[in-house]
Amino acid sequence: MFTARSAFSTIGRRAFSVSAHQSSKVTILGAAGGIGQPLSLLLKLNPRVTDLALYDIRGGPGVAADVSHVNTKSKVTGYDPAPEKLKAALEGAEIVLIPAGVPRKPGMSRDDLFKTNASIVRDLAKAAADYAPNAKLLIISNPVNSTVPITAEVFKAKGVYNPKRLFGVTTLDVVRASKFISEIQGTDPAGEEVTVVGGHSGVTIVPLLSQSNHPSIDGATRDALVKRIQFGGDEVVQAKSSAGSGGSATLSMAFAGSRMADSLLRASHGETGVFEPAFVQSPLYKDYGCEFFSSRIELGPEGVKEIHPVGKVNKYEEGLIAIALNDLAANIKKARHCDTPPI
Ligand code: NAD
Ligand code: LMR
């Protein structure tokens, strides 16, 4: 498992085992933002990344100049906002991460970001479909439950859609779940793994505590823990608002996004047994009726290798999933029938 503690030590160790022929270009669209900057730094520290392309409508080259002074081998290039620069940023990318878009303010839901972010993601997805159709695309911009289906529609319309390569990033939900459960149990979060299924917003986030190391957590403790995992994002939005800085999770999200990208790189470089959760087009559709669903996924060279079944859940979790599916279905439908047509 990739944890905060292991992140840098593992990267340091792997620096010696990554062979020279494995070149991997990673592109960040929205690289100068709250998530984009620390994400750029973390990817600069990853020896599997050989080229880092940083694009933003504002400040890409500045972030690139700064990060490029970190003394790791990879080459960093910043791009100004122009169609030919976006093309250059995307061409040859193995992984494209998209954190471009606005974050929440207190009182807003992720769905309230749809109006602004749907068209930002749609336009960047069009460019990715044109210039990096074979890249693994990691959508961070909210509402993930809708921006992922929008991206799928764009890729379908361009005739280059491969569901194995499109991921809504839900890694932060499992990062939070493992940290919050360890706080209650007094354990090391590195040893705590909690499967989280559904989507990425409020009640669509469903932690399966019955499958964790602590299936007996129950009653008010369980209810509070589940709520904290589901609304961890709001905790950060509130705290940042009170502190006057505004915005939503950026540092923990950069950590989560960097972990997801690293897992995909490890899998594409031949490592087996690499698992991450992600919001993807899912065969679990037949069980849950939602075409996109987040669950535990085994990664491989193509991206998705195998989407694992949700497995055994208890009555309480069945109830949580039923509630999640309502919102999730609405979020996906909205992406399909929105005023932001895919093309
Ligand atoms: P931010 O405002 O700090 O940064 C966004 C960046 O995107 C800015 O630098 C902006 O210039 C850039 N941008 C806007 N439109 C662009 C475009 N068309 N092309 C390229 N760049 C563009 O916001 P943030 O805090 O970094 O959050 C970004 C998004 O990530 C938000 O939608 C937020 O809700 C989401 N988020 C998702 C998760 C998750 O778990 N998936 C976690 C945290 C935040
Ligand atoms: C999160 O989970 O922190 C992100 O989705 C950002 C948010 O709006 O809460």
Mean pLDDT, rounded, of the chain: 92
Is residue 49, in this structure, part of any structural domain at all?
Answer: yes
Partners of 54 in the β-ladder: 28, 78
Atom of ligand 2 at shortest range from CA of 103: 8
Q: Which domain holds residue 43?
A: 24-337
Atom of ligand 2 at shortest range from CA of 104: 8
CATH number of the structural domain spanning residue 61: 3.90.110.10
Q: Which amino acid is at 182?
A: S
The confidence score (pLDDT) of residue 285 equals: 79
Q: What's the N-to-C CA distance of the chain in angstroms?
A: 39
Is residue 3, in this structure, part of any structural domain at all?
Answer: no
Instruction: Kindly give the distance from the C-alpha atom of residue 234 to the centroid of ligand 2, in angstroms, as a whole number.
Output: 7
Is the predicted ipTM greater than 0.85, yes or no? Answer: yes
The confidence score (pLDDT) of residue 20 equals: 43
Is residue 144, in this structure, part of any structural domain at all?
Answer: yes
Is residue 45, in this structure, part of any structural domain at all?
Answer: yes
Is residue 16, in this structure, part of any structural domain at all?
Answer: no
Q: How far apart are CA 178 and CA 151, in angstroms?
A: 29
Is residue 42, in this structure, part of any structural domain at all?
Answer: yes
State the average pLDDT over residues 300-325: 96
Instruction: Kindly give the distance from the C-alpha atom of residue 208 to the centroid of ligand 2, in angstroms, as a whole number.
Output: 20
State the average pLDDT over residues 145-164: 97
Instruction: Kindly give the distance from the C-alpha atom of residue 154 to the centroid of ligand 2, in angstroms, as a whole number.
Output: 24
State the average pLDDT over residues 16-38: 83
DSSP 260-272: HHHHHHHHHTT--
Domain count, the chain: 1
Those residues whose C-beta lies under 8 Å from the C-beta of residue 325, and which sit 6 or more positions away, are 198, 288, 289, 290
Is residue 7, in this structure, part of any structural domain at all?
Answer: no
The confidence score (pLDDT) of residue 284 equals: 86
Going by CA atoms, what residue is nearest to atom 3 of ligand 2?
233
The answer to whether the beta carbons of residues 159 and 116 sit under 8 Å apart is: no
> Is 147 a residue whose pLDDT tops 90?
yes
> Is 279 a residue whose pLDDT tops 50?
yes
Is residue 192, in this structure, part of any structural domain at all?
Answer: yes
The lowest-confidence range among 18-22, 93-97, 161-165, 314-318 is: 18-22
Atom of ligand 1 at shortest range from CA of 250: 25
Torsion, Cα of 259, 15, 22, 169 (10° steps): 0
Q: Tell me: is residue 314 an annotated ligand-binding position.
A: no
Q: Tell me: is residue 141 an annotated ligand-binding position.
A: yes
Q: What is the pLDDT of residues 186-208, one digit of tens each?
A: 999 999 999 999 999 999 999 99
Q: Tell me: is residue 30 an annotated ligand-binding position.
A: yes
